[in-house]
Amino acid sequence: MSSLPIFDVAGSALAAQSVRLNTIASNLANADSVGSSPETAYRPIEPVFQTARVPGQPGMTGVDVVRVEPLDKPAIRRFEPGHPMADAEGYIYAPDVDPVAQMVNLISASRGYQANVEVINSARELALATLMIGR
């Protein structure tokens, strides 16, 4: 906990956006993977956030990552009998990852991260300017 709670609030948001960026990267990296059954196919993941109180600061809240959970999207079944991962019926199973939606989320998370970096920079500059008033 810092002496200025804005750093705690913005820091928690930075950590949350970082987790969001990592889950999006994982989804995009596994978008073209396949499995031999619906159970072995990659399932896209998404973080779950909740508000969190800033210690020692009543009424101030930040954000916490509660968990990262797989989305309830069934695998996409494709008929490719020549594929080495095909099951006995000739099907492979791919994750239901929409790369366009993931890129939109990536841009949103990146902008959220950048905004919180700017909050920290502005708060730091204001704190330094306040300290210089007495000189």
Position 9 pLDDT exceeds 70 = yes
**pLDDT in the model for residue 132:** 87
Q: What is the Cα–Cα distance from 87 to 35, expressed in whole angstroms?
A: 9
Which sequence spans correspond to the domains of the chain?
Answer: 5-132
Taking alpha carbons only, the member of 18, 21, 14, 13 closest to residue 107 is 21
Q: What angle do CA 100, 12, 111 make, to 5 degrees?
A: 35
Residue 56: pLDDT band by 50, 70, 90 thresholds?
Answer: confident
Q: What tens digit of pLDDT does each residue of 30-55 get?
A: 999 999 999 999 999 999 999 988 87
Instruction: Map residue 111 onto helix, strand or coil.
Output: helix
What is the distance between the terminal CA atoms of the chain, rounded to a whole angstrom? 28
Position 67 pLDDT exceeds 80 = yes
Position 1 pLDDT exceeds 60 = no
Residue 10: pLDDT band by 50, 70, 90 thresholds?
Answer: very high
Residue 64: pLDDT band by 50, 70, 90 thresholds?
Answer: very high
Residue 71 has phi, psi (to 5 degrees) of -75, 150
Residue 57: pLDDT band by 50, 70, 90 thresholds?
Answer: confident
Q: Which amino acid is at 19?
A: V
Position 21 pLDDT exceeds 60 = yes
Give 35's DSSP letter.
Answer: B
Please state, rounded to an integer, the average pLDDT across all residues of the chain: 92
Mean pLDDT, range 66-93, rounded to an integer: 94
Q: Which amino acid is at 88?
A: A
